[in-house]
Structure 1
Amino acid sequence: MVRCLDNKIPCIWILERKLAGDEDCLTVSIYKPKNSSRKSFPVAAFIHGGAFMFGGSSEDGHDRFMSDGNLILVKISYRLGPLGFASTGDANLSGNFGLKDQRLALLWIKQNIASFGGEPDNILVIGHSAGGASVHLQMLHEDFRNVAKAAISFSGNALDPWVVQQGGRGRAFELGRIVGCGQTSDSLKLKKCLKSKSASEIVSAVRSFLVFSYVPFTPFGPVVEPADAPEAFITQHPIDIIQSGKFAQIPWALSYTTEDGGYNAALLLEKQSSTGQELIEELNDRWFDWAPYLLFYRDSMTTIKDMDDCSRKLRQEYLGDRRFNVESYLDLQRLFTDVLFKNETEKVLDLYRKHGKSPVYGFVYDNPANAGIGQALAKRTDIHFGTVHGDDYFLIFENSAREFQLRSDEKIISRNFLKMLNDFILSENGTLAFDTCVFQDNVDSSKIQLLSITRNGCGNL
């Protein structure tokens, strides 16, 4: 393991009422193939997911990835939750510290990977979920083209509604109140007080921001920083940056799965010990209260009426006059998929179609795992969730969210994904292919181009 910083900054997160993490967490971990036939290797830099709140690079196993023997893998750790993303919206506590950690790590990789046998001119940056969104956010810096040759975002991009949110200032001061900093409205006083608190106190306070279970799943995340913030990460909304054309013009692929919304809709199917009923039944009485948190539009609406109108419209569009229950769950999951993942993926592709210069590709994965995040969140195996969040990505990196053993069809897809990554790094013109299918570039295309990947093969939609 290579440690890129000497100072100790906490990366502790809350999970199921327990604290876990490491205060000495700003590290990069480098894995080199045991391949004596070559002296240098292309590099895959990996940014882990976890809703910007939890997870860690060590949770995604690398044995399957390294079995190919052709790439150096570098895993990046970064600060999470309020430690990485609390923001008062001004220069005193501007936020995005986790993204700045990632950027520092990527620059370190570029400058130092040759010492480990890596090829600094052949770096691919990849991530899943919040990691995928992070990859996109890093690309919004024009000079990212001097770091990475190409990038891939699995099930996450900067426009997803759970990524760049409003309301950060209010949450930062509420965080201070919860940990004993009083009712101050002075960001400097708040910063001083927060620095006097332990990491565990600050992270434990996340519980107070949850409406139920782990909802919303990203109470602290990326923000647009003020222009006068020192070393600001982004000072414009991602849409504005994309429309300006001032972003890293490198080959990029982004994706979603056909039922990505199984995260985190599936938790609504967990049976409650007190009533024996599924949590989804409570939506019939609490939809207007919970929907803005579940779908991340609470802070983007001006009035309560606006929120209620949005909630009513979504319910009518996806469920009509039916009740929320197990029988209507798949339509609710489809709502989650569209709002949290699919819609903004297609919007990004459309924006890059108009404003991009380097190749931009999109793909949809549809091949359900036998057991994945849906079953884990619902804590039941009698529901067929379809192809949920991570069913593709965890064919590349093992994760406890889905079973480790792959079916024969998944082994083939896994090998094709690994070859896709390797070929993408080495491509001189940014061409991307999966098995026998060549992706269609969206830039200057007359319509959005998507590649479908299933257990039976692949094809352009």
Structure 2
Amino acid sequence: MNAVRLFFALSCLWIGSSAGDGNDPLLIELQHGQLRGRDNGNYYSYEAIPYAEPPLGDLRFEAPVPYKQKWTDTFDATQPPVVCLQWDQFTQGDNKLAGSEDCLTVSIYKPKNTSRRSFPVVGHIHGGAFMFGGAALNGHENVMREGQFILVKISYRLGPLGFASTGDTDLPGNYGLKDQRLALQWIRENIANFGGEPKNILVIGHSAGGASVHLQLLREDFGKLAKAGISFSGNALDPWVVQKGSRGRAFELGRIVGCGLSKDSATLKSCLKSKPAGEIVTAVRNFLIFSYTPFTPFGPVVEPCDAADAFLIQNPVDVIKSGKFGQVPWAVTYVTEDGGYTAASLLEGGNKPGQTLLEELNDRWFDWAPSMLFYRDSMQCIGEMDDYSWKLRQEYMGDRRFNDESYWDLQQLFTDVLFKNSTQDSLQLHRKYGTSPAYSFVYDNPADKGVGQALSNRRDVKFGTVHGDDYFLIFENGLRNPQLRPDEEVISKNFIKMLGDFAVSDKGILTYGECTFQDNVGSETFNLLSITRDGCENKQYVEFP
């Protein structure tokens, strides 16, 4: 009798255990097999899940191939994603090589929120000038603490491995953008298995990530992948995004790594495929004139119309004018001193003893400005380039010299040329040729320690609100203070709620705190939401402030 009771008890225990395993939130079934995530207290994570075959060997410099492998064992999704192979601006020392060529993954973070069975989704494309950065470098603790949406971070190829292009069908480029698109397709197809809502996907990014969001949205079928997008401090019209001169840089890359003077693109591509990936990426240092300038030697390009798997075959301006782009709600933003990202690096020690790079700029303006401001390859001749350089200097500096006292004006020059002007231009085009809402905000609330201080190692300079001072309130980043001020805590919560609400809005309504964004489509003035430490306010402008 006791034996029967023991057998019955063990049977119940086994049945209960099996049912528990079936409902285990850490175990997820995909078409590739089963994976196991991690319990992080107030959220679950499923990291470094491959969405594409590793871009190695013959797959280097090719459009990504969807991941096809089957898992016989449970896939371990508890390890954080590696950064894609890069020459990293923020790695200390002369050797800035970091990461792995096998890096095409998505990482998913799901809040524990028992009040809902499913969640809207925010797809995150990291920044880093298309050259560096990584999914793991943008923290998610703030987002998970609020528990409003599932966050999916996308890793994609960077630098020459992601964007080297000869401008023809043999080496068309934009591999990093094609990675992003395939990752977005993977999210749409698989996120329901994690409790995500495939019809409520918002895609966001900062800097190069923001420009990437805009470029993805310029695909006419973007609405099949996402419901809306937000581009923080970066858009497709920024002068550092879609550049000319890629063919010359690609062949110079080949010469540097030992491919000689390749006679054609096919020969160059074959040679580059045979070289160690680390050598190709290390060659980036040869394209920098000082520090990490220009910050995007390899980035998006316009591909030839007949290129296989082409991502972008027209200039973004022409795409928007055609009206043939993803007609979904979109927001584009900037901060008042975005240009501090570039200007602050000039406060470092220069090549001459006792001088900063800023002071050296007095003698090198005509040499350096075209690279710093990304117009070297867009001018027809040196005379035209020099005329534009002189015009910019006179407009912002007059006859003053570059030094600490005039730093603020130089920083404003970089803000206008590299970020603000093109934000206005893109919004102008969308309000004229778009049919879905187009929103914008400007953020003005300096961090106590941000990108300006990190790049300059200076605390005695007034930087204002620099690149990332808003975005890093959402996603923690080592470049700014981890401890938020009381006003920043409020702003952080407002931003995170803004994202969650935008992802589920059926009418494309965007709100921040007590403010509702005003649509720019069809408006005679620019509707710009001003966000400061004191709150938010809708303002109208003929020109951006």
**1:5 corresponding residue in structure 2:** 52
| Structure 2: 5+ residue stretches without partners | 1-46, 61-83, 540-545
Cα separation, 2, equivalents of 1:185 and 1:346: 42
Q: 2:515 aligns with which of 437, 447, 459?
A: 437
1:24-43 equivalences in 2 (<5 Å):
24-43=102-121
Give, as a single letter, the amino acid of the residue that structure 1 aligns with 2:497: K
Q: Please state whether the residue corresponding to 1:102 is helix, strand or coil.
A: helix
Q: Please state whether the residue corresponding to 1:32 is helix, strand or coil.
A: strand
Q: Please state whether the residue corresponding to 1:22 is helix, strand or coil.
A: coil
Give, as a single letter, the amino acid of the residue that structure 1 aligns with 2:308: P
Runs of 4+ in 1 over 6 A off after TM superposition: none
Cα separation, 2, equivalents of 1:303 and 1:88: 21
Deviates more, 1:273-282 or 1:81-90: 273-282
**Deviation at 1:379?**
1.1
1:33-432 equivalences in 2 (<5 Å):
33-272=111-350, 275-432=353-510
Give, as a single letter, the amino acid of the residue that structure 1 aligns with 2:532: T
TM-score of the superposition, structure 1-length normalised? 0.99
Aligned-residue RMSD, C-alpha: 1.0
CA contact (8 A) 1:173 1:185 kept: no
Cα separation, 2, equivalents of 1:6 and 1:139: 24
CA contact (8 A) 2:351 2:357 kept: no
Cα separation, 1, equivalents of 2:367 and 2:294: 12
Q: Please state whether the residue corresponding to 1:67 is helix, strand or coil.
A: helix
**Deviation at 1:8?**
4.5
TM-score of the superposition, structure 2-length normalised? 0.84
Cα separation, 1, equivalents of 2:322 and 2:53: 37
Cα separation, 2, equivalents of 1:115 and 1:22: 28
Cα separation, 2, equivalents of 1:407 and 1:274: 39
Cα separation, 2, equivalents of 1:89 and 1:4: 27
**Deviation at 1:427?**
1.0
Deviates more, 1:444-453 or 1:75-84: 444-453
Q: Please state whether the residue corresponding to 2:85 is helix, strand or coil.
A: strand
**1:458 corresponding residue in structure 2:** 536
Give, as a single letter, the amino acid of the residue that structure 2 aligns with 1:110: R
CA contact (8 A) 2:54 2:103 kept: no
- Cα deviation, 1:37-94, whole Å, max 9, x if unaligned, reads 2211000000000000001011001111111112000000000000000001000000
Residues 272 and 306 of structure 1, relative CA distance in 2, 3 Å threshold = closer
**Deviation at 1:174?**
0.4
Cα separation, 1, equivalents of 2:491 and 2:163: 36
CA contact (8 A) 2:148 2:497 kept: no
Give, as a single letter, the amino acid of the residue that structure 2 aligns with 1:452: S
- Cα deviation, 1:353-408, whole Å, max 9, x if unaligned, reads 11010000010000000000000111111111000000000000000111111000
Q: Please state whether the residue corresponding to 2:255 is helix, strand or coil.
A: helix
Cα separation, 2, equivalents of 1:8 and 1:320: 50
Q: Please state whether the residue corresponding to 1:35 is helix, strand or coil.
A: coil
Q: Please state whether the residue corresponding to 2:525 is helix, strand or coil.
A: coil
Give, as a single letter, the amino acid of the residue that structure 1 aligns with 2:52: L
Q: Considering only CA atoms, is the larger Rg found in Structure 1 or Structure 2?
A: 2
Cα separation, 1, equivalents of 2:50 and 2:487: 38
Q: Please state whether the residue corresponding to 1:324 is helix, strand or coil.
A: coil
| Structure 1: 5+ residue stretches without partners | none
Residues 273 and 310 of structure 1, relative CA distance in 2, 3 Å threshold = closer
Give, as a single letter, the amino acid of the residue that structure 2 aligns with 1:32: K
**2:74 corresponding residue in structure 1:** none
**Deviation at 1:274?**
5.5
Cα separation, 2, equivalents of 1:378 and 1:275: 17
Cα separation, 2, equivalents of 1:3 and 1:272: 43
**Deviation at 1:7?**
2.5
**Deviation at 1:272?**
4.0
Q: Percent identity, aligned pairs only? A: 69
Give, as a single letter, the amino acid of the residue that structure 1 aligns with 2:418: L
Q: 2:524 aligns with which of 415, 430, 446?
A: 446
Cα separation, 1, equivalents of 2:352 and 2:237: 38
- Cα deviation, 1:307-342, whole Å, max 9, x if unaligned, reads 100000000000001011110000000000000000
Cα separation, 2, equivalents of 1:197 and 1:29: 30
Deviates more, 1:354-363 or 1:265-274: 265-274
Cα separation, 2, equivalents of 1:41 and 1:149: 14
CA contact (8 A) 1:267 1:378 kept: yes
Pairs aligned (count): 461
Give, as a single letter, the amino acid of the residue that structure 1 aligns with 2:480: R
Cα separation, 2, equivalents of 1:296 and 1:368: 27
**Deviation at 1:273?**
8.2
Q: Please state whether the residue corresponding to 1:174 is helix, strand or coil.
A: helix
Structure having greater relative contact order (Cα 8 Å, sep ≥ 6): 1
Give, as a single letter, the amino acid of the residue that structure 2 aligns with 1:430: G
Deviates more, 1:256-265 or 1:275-284: 275-284
- Cα deviation, 1:229-260, whole Å, max 9, x if unaligned, reads 00100100000000000000000111000000
Q: Please state whether the residue corresponding to 2:406 is helix, strand or coil.
A: helix
Q: Please state whether the residue corresponding to 1:120 is helix, strand or coil.
A: strand
